[in-house]
Amino acid sequence: MAKEPSEQIIWDEERGEPGFGFIRPHFHQEIFPTSQIVGYVLSLALTLTSFLLVIHRTFSASPLLVAILILAVGQAGVQVGIFMHLRESRGPAWQVIPLFLGFFIAGGMIAMSIWIMMFKWGGY
Amino acid sequence: MSLPVDPKVIPKPPVPLEFSVKAESIKITGFWMFLVSDMLIFASLFSVFAVFRSRIMAGPTPNQIFHYGSTLLETLLLLTSSFTVGMAIFAMRKSHAQAMMTWLVVTLVLGAGFVATEIHEFITDVQHGITWHVSGFLSGFFVLVGTHGAHVSFGIAWAVTLLFQLSRRGLTPVTTRKLYTFSLYWHFLDIVWVFIFTFVYLFGKIT
Amino acid sequence: MSFMAVYLFYLYMIHTLFPENVRQPTELGADVMIIGTGIIIVSVLTRYKKWRWLWSEWLTTVDHKKIGVLYLISALAMLFRGGVDALMLRTNLALPNIQPIGANEYNEVFTTHGTIMIFFMAMPFIFALFNAVVPLMIGARDVAFPRLNAISYWLFAFGALLLNISFVLGGSPNAGWTAYAPFTERAFTPGVGENYYFMSLLIAGIGTTMTGINFLVTIIRMRAPGMTFMRMPLFVWTTLTTSALIIFAFPPLTVALALTLIDRLFQASFFTLGHGGMPMMYVNLFWLFGHPEVYIVVMPAFGIFSEVVATFSGKQLFGYTAMVLSVVAIMLFAYGTWVHHFFTMGAGPSVNVFFGLSTMLIAIPTGVKIFNWIFTMWGGRIRMTVAMLYQIAFIPTFAIGGATGVMFAVVPADYQLHNGYFLIAHFHNVLIGGTLFGLLSGMHYWWPKMFGFSLNERLGKLAFWLFFIGFWITFTPQYMLGFEGMTRRLYTYPLGYGWHMLNVISTLGAFTMGAGFVVLVYDIVWSLFKMPRDATGDPWNGRTLEWALPSPVPEYNFARIPVVTSRDMFWWMKRHHATIADQLKPNDIRELDLPKNSPVPFILGLGFFIFGFGMVFEWWLLAFLGLAIIIGSLIYTGFDYDEHKQVSADEILHIEQSLGRLQG
């Protein structure tokens, strides 16, 4: 079936947008699933670490909260970076920008909602 | 008029099957955008839960209702299923259809185990009179965790229809794209669960 | 006599089916009108044997241009419904102590007025213009996901239908367009009205989110060769930012609505007063959506004005880069200001100061845009068409509306002005002066592209002046009423408060605007029959790619995808005698894959409607039926691999030849 020339080639190169920095496309092509296994081990380690930290009460409450929050964000990074192949795309990996904007807005939404709903009177 | 970059000069990079047709690769971008909007649904539910966390009233406290053993089991099930669906995609990229199907079935079994554990937990709670009517905290808890569970259940149903399509049609640009978007969805639910595990269960243990 | 019998039978049926609901005699008129319109439409379609045509050409279509037309028709119908509501409100307030409609009806009418105007008039009007021109402007064959686009439309349409039938079946929602908890909880508002509100907005909201995703991906991935981001027309930029805002802003609304509905139907304790519920969280979530929504409805208008002002001034848009940056800045700031809608909740001084400052900050990029429009006109050869008149009227109107908005950002002032008529006047000033003027301007500008003929300029100008003058007569007195202490959502007032004269004037203004709408509809009908067809496809001497195509645009849009080398590409083509019509050779035309019509979107929408109706009345069996239809059609689409039809090169050749667009 004859197609238009513009449909046979990769679109975004055609527009002169090869991507730059974080949104340069990159395809995962491996012979052995090394990254999957590494990702699995990492995800188990991160989860078990935070679980054990909490069960054994390693720190006092607030540093502990911060620690397990950081571990959770690390876990998200492992999933997005290794398993979800974040930068796979034809042409620039545009999904990166809305995704990080979404992370930022989601974090802001939660933090600000908590702040607003504290009803803290007095003091600036 | 000339093209800004002559397409004939650019060497065509090796592109996996699911990206090989333009229209299908656009659907993958679209699915990312859907995930972003779904992420904000969960963010809204998280902010509700965060605000309602201390509103226990006469109801039970987090420590009284959370079963840390089964929660850890659920987490391990979901993390493993995230790995297995990653392996399914790896096999798909290698065109090993049989291995891909096997990994996908393993993923579904693990997911079903997760849902079964969660439903069992919820039923036990309700039998003890712990419902979302009791307190603001329980409302937030049940709806946040329940929304995630509903997403996982939907994912399982979706993947079952995918299994039929894959076995009937084999690996085509369309079927591989569908499996690829399913894997994105599944990893995304895994991330959400990790935050539920941290924010809901572990925070509940600490405070 | 037979009419009376039918009406009595209808009353009897309503009473047996919906015993909670007691019909008010004042609602008779509305019922008769809704049912009568339905009967007329059905009989006309049957009389002229148009059912098959309707089904195959419109109800199953996935063509973005036809979906745009459907959106436009729905939006105009909803503008009529919302406008009639507004006139009823103003009539009730025209004189002290008169009550043509009672207190409860007044509540219902202002609720549906707000809900319909925002969700079922402004949003579909915006999507009408997105659908009609955005793919053409970026040189694409269609949107990224044509079938999803149709699904979005049908979810919107059935959501709108669900809200509108509430008036006939079971009672309208009556808790204001914001539906604040705990008033909307079952304890305070029993009955099905609020269920209708939550369910219809949830259904329409799903469709809207999908439209946002669709257009974001369309603009990111479907641009023609050479159409870089900084060459996109500004309307495409505002579509991009609006879509992004929709994706980020609709989830909190969905959650707020769903949680309240769970409270109402399944006895959860989110926003109730007992059991540790927290009604303020509803307000927080609602405005987490609600403030970005303000920019969702006004940013497309900014884009429209940027196109209109450049075309009718015969000049390139002044400060393109600054315009793009300010649009992006507005998009980002829009998320950081939502608390200014509820300063009086008393979240504390630090919260209020933070959000007051961020609100003032957002006026800066908006100011940049105003100056750029003025400088575009500066020294240009201005043509006073209807679209341009709306643009010129917009600038002072919106500037004043914006300035009164900044007054609200001052927290102590907000405590005084909150929920008064000053607020009413402010947001109508922004929404009518910004959004509605923008949408009407865009409608007049792109009408020939959508339908193949222009609207009558004389009638259009008459409608414009009625709208513009009527607007100021309506809302200037309301600013004053705000200072004199008249509060929002008041259904009547006694003599002797000194509000009498101002209310009379305001009502006169509202009826002037109503007359403007009548003239607009007359204009559309008159032009449909009398205006000459547009043969060139470029009636305004336009600058962007959509004018390079014939009007109305053939199904495949571009026989050959253009290569873009500059901003205002069509202007450049005309200067260099290189228009698509000049260049198209028979050999350039290839066979094309086009999306095929599908009944799935309509049936999916119907499934959601049945599901919603079942939920509203808690008829679980009906809800399950709807759910089964939804799941069934989703599975059907999953297994349907036959999404495309082929259009042969000969067919395209023939169409292009008949349009006189083929060389050699």
Q: What is the mean pLDDT of chain C?
A: 91
- Give the count of Cβ contacts less than 8 A between chain B and C: 123
CB C295 within 8 A of CB C212: no
Angle, CA C461 vertex, CA C456 and CA C464 arms, to 5°: 125
CB C293 within 8 A of CB C246: no
Which one has a higher pLDDT value, C440 or C27? C440
Percentage above 70 pLDDT, chain A: 81
CB C137 within 8 A of CB C546: yes
Is the residue at C582 inside a domain?
Answer: yes
Mutate to test the interface with A, among B82, B182, B200 (most CBs of A within 10 A): B82
Percentage above 70 pLDDT, chain C: 95
Would you state the pLDDT for residue B2? Answer: 38
Both C98 and C216 in a single domain? yes
Q: Is pLDDT of C36 > 90?
A: no
Mean pLDDT, residues C187-213 taken together: 94
User: Which one of B12, B35, B79 has the shortest CB-CB distance to A44?
Assistant: B79
Mean pLDDT, residues C574-601 taken together: 84
Whole-model pTM: value is: 0.93
Q: What is the mean pLDDT of chain A?
A: 81
Both C38 and C66 in a single domain? no
Confidence of residue C2 (pLDDT cuts 50, 70, 90): low
pLDDT, tens digit only, all 207 positions of chain B: 334 444 444 445 568 888 888 889 999 999 999 999 999 999 999 999 999 998 988 889 888 888 888 999 999 999 999 999 999 999 999 989 999 999 999 999 999 999 999 999 999 999 999 999 999 999 999 999 999 999 999 999 999 999 999 999 999 999 999 999 999 999 999 999 999 999 999 988 887
Query: What b/e readout covers C624-633, taking b as 16+ CB neighbours within 10 angstroms?
Result: ebbbebbeeb
Q: Is pLDDT of C370 > 90?
A: yes
- For C98-154, the pLDDT digits (tens) are 888 888 889 999 999 999 999 999 999 999 999 999 999 999 999 999 999 999 999
Both C323 and C188 in a single domain? yes
Lowest-confidence segment of A98-102, C20-24, C459-463, C657-661 by average pLDDT = C20-24
Mean pLDDT, residues C214-231 taken together: 92
CB C121 within 8 A of CB C164: no
DSSP state letters, C170-200: T----STTTT-TTTTSTTTS-SSHHHHHHHH
- For C63-96, the pLDDT digits (tens) are 999 999 999 999 999 999 999 999 999 999 999 9
Among candidates C27, C197, C33, which has minimal Cα distance to C104? C27
Would you state the pLDDT for residue B13? Answer: 54
User: Which one of A4, A105, A120 has the shortest CB-CB distance to C350?
Assistant: A120
Contacts A1 to C, Cβ<8 Å: 591, 646
Mean pLDDT, residues C193-207 taken together: 95
Q: Is pLDDT of C454 > 80?
A: yes
Q: Is pLDDT of C534 > 70?
A: yes
CB C110 within 8 A of CB C176: yes
- For C483-503, the pLDDT digits (tens) are 999 999 999 999 888 899 999
Q: Is pLDDT of A47 > 60?
A: yes
Q: Mark yes or no for CB contact C213/B174 under 8 Å.
A: no
Would you state the pLDDT for residue B7? Answer: 45
Both C527 and C592 in a single domain? yes
Both C466 and C555 in a single domain? yes
Would you state the pLDDT for residue A16? Answer: 54
First to last CA, chain B: 67
Contacts A109 to C, Cβ<8 Å: 252, 288
Among candidates C7, C1, C106, which has minimal Cα distance to C489? C106
CB C547 within 8 A of CB C449: yes
Both C146 and C27 in a single domain? no
Is the residue at C514 inside a domain?
Answer: yes
Is the residue at C266 inside a domain?
Answer: yes
CB C534 within 8 A of CB C453: yes
Both C134 and C241 in a single domain? yes
Q: Is pLDDT of A5 > 60?
A: no
- Cα separation, C120 vs C115, whole angstroms: 7
DSSP state letters, C317-381: PTTHHHHHHHHHHHHHHGGG-GGGG-GGG---HHHHHHHHHHHHHHHHHHHHHHHHHHHHHTTS-
- Cα separation, C643 vs C176, whole angstroms: 43
Which one has a higher pLDDT value, C593 or C38? C593
Burial of C95 (0-12, 13-18, 19+ CB in 10 A): middle
Q: What's at C13, amino acid-wise?
A: M
Is the residue at C298 inside a domain?
Answer: yes
Contacts A117 to B, Cβ<8 Å: 51
- ipTM score: 0.92
Is the residue at C615 inside a domain?
Answer: no
Domain that holds residue C3: 1-49
Would you state the pLDDT for residue A6? Answer: 38
- Cα separation, B124 vs B67, whole angstroms: 11
Angle, CA C241 vertex, CA C238 and CA C245 arms, to 5°: 130
Domain B17-206 falls under CATH 1.20.120.80 = yes
- Cα separation, B178 vs B173, whole angstroms: 9
Q: Is pLDDT of C427 > 70?
A: yes
Mutate to test the interface with B, among C255, C564, C572, C577 (most CBs of B within 10 A): C255
Q: Is pLDDT of C12 > 80?
A: no
- The answer to whether B135 contacts chain C (CB < 8 Å) is yes
- Cα separation, C107 vs C100, whole angstroms: 13
CB C179 within 8 A of CB C224: no
Both C35 and C152 in a single domain? no
- The answer to whether C412 contacts chain B (CB < 8 Å) is no
- Cα separation, C487 vs C420, whole angstroms: 4
Which one has a higher pLDDT value, B2 or C614? C614
Mutate to test the interface with B, among C143, C217, C287, C573 (most CBs of B within 10 A): C217
B52: phi then psi, degrees, rounded to nearest 5? -90, 0
Both C76 and C43 in a single domain? no
CB C60 within 8 A of CB C197: no
Mean pLDDT, residues C232-239 taken together: 96
CB C419 within 8 A of CB C482: no
Both C9 and C56 in a single domain? no
Domain boundary among C49, C65, C82: C49
Dig out the tokens for C161 from the structure. Answer: 């239908």
Both C13 and C151 in a single domain? no
Is the residue at C633 inside a domain?
Answer: no
- For C279-291, the pLDDT digits (tens) are 999 999 999 999 9
DSSP state letters, C101-115: S-HHHHHHHHHHHHH
> How many domains is chain C built from?
2
Would you state the pLDDT for residue A1? Answer: 36
Residue ranges per structural domain of chain B? 17-206
User: Which one of C220, C248, C252 has the shortest CB-CB distance to A102?
Assistant: C248
Which one has a higher pLDDT value, B99 or A24? B99
Both C1 and C129 in a single domain? no
- Cα separation, C340 vs C357, whole angstroms: 10
